[in-house]
Amino acid sequence: MKLAEITNYLESIAPLNYQEDYDNSGLIVGDPNMEIRAALVALDCVEKIVDEAISTGCNLIITHHPIVFKGLKKLNGKNYVERVVLKAIKNNIALYAIHTNLDSIHTGVNARICERLGLTGTKVLSPKTGLLKKLVTYCPQAQAEQLRSALFYAGAGNIGNYSECSFNADGFGTFKGNEDSDPFVGEKGIRHRENEVRIEMVYPTQAERKILLALFENHPYEEVAYDIYKLENKHQLVGSGMVGWLEYDMDAYDFLHLVKDRMQAKVVRHTDVIGKRIKKVAVCGGSGSFLLREAIAAGADAFITADFKYHEFFDAEEKLIIADIGHFETEQFTSNLLLEIIQKKFTNFAIRLTEQNTNPINYLF
């Protein structure tokens, strides 16, 4: 199958515009039209992962972390990033990363952590803004239903758990075509009044091209009147971290042991146990200290994440327990998640999980 078939599917689930500004998700090495024989899935793309791909006949490596974060000015193999890219190119292996865009979706990395911990009633901890727009257009009443259906099919009108959402208001429009016009209704040179429906729909920004194409192809008018508005609304299903509830409240130490066990963590660095029982829990895969205020504001009793600095532990101020279990440990189940996502769509595609542990941190007990 073509590489583009796989990457397009992954980006339909975790669009690239969901990634953070600093990130570099997407196709890093490879031609979208190349034929893919088999794929290897890993958390990190390091040299031993490329070697494993070569030995197992995989010409695509899909990882959570991008091998290239910053621009490469030279490719001479002086560091592991350059060596990985050079070896991948030399062996015609495509490299694809699906990082903070996979973190951001409500069925992504953080959902998998919540699942491991047995959390229910989960929702995004810090929803993103700037991902939604509104389309407003005006259509003759007789053709309005066909146009609505086409826009829905193109991806407009989805709000949370609801689809085919629109607002409609009856009114009338006026227009007068010149000699070069070809009006759908009315006559050239004569002002025409037509009963119309004002149709409003919210849509995700990444679907705009497809939605506008549906608008132009299904609207009966020669000149389509429409407006697009940028929305500052939060996208409740896209953002950073998640928060949810344990089935029953737990003693703090029992909860920390549960986290260590369920997340297969070697060590749990945590703030003082403050006496209250744990019921509501916030999580963030990878480096999550930037979400501490949101976790506190959400009323979480504990916050599970990684990469807290020494002084940042003080910021908990006994309002919750911070449990830092390690960056790799919070994200180690992401490879399984990616495998499941791909196998659900491409049931006969040859894909395998890496047998390598790419955690760069070791522990001495």
| Residue 331 is labelled as binding a ligand | yes
Q: Residue 44 annotated as binding?
A: no
The reply, when asked if residue 52 is annotated as ligand binding, is no
Q: Which of 362, 365, 357 is nearest to 48 (CA)?
A: 357
E-only strand ranges, 141-268: 167-175, 192-204, 226-230, 235-250
Q: How are beta strands 94-97 and 120-128 bridged, if at all?
A: unpaired
State the residue for tokens 């002084």.
311
Looking from the CA of 45 toward its CB, the CA atoms found within 13 Å total: 34
65 is in an annotated binding site: yes
d(CA 180, CA 224): 16
Q: Going by DSSP bridges, is the β-strand pair 351-353/278-287 parallel, antiparallel, or unpaired?
A: unpaired
CA distance 179 to 201: 34
In this structure, the number of other CB atoms found within 10 A of the CB of residue 59 comes to 20
20 is in an annotated binding site: no
Calpha distance 175→190 (Å, rounded): 8
Per the annotation, binding residues for a divalent metal cation are: 64-65, 103, 327, 331
Per the annotation, binding residues are: 64-65, 103, 327, 331
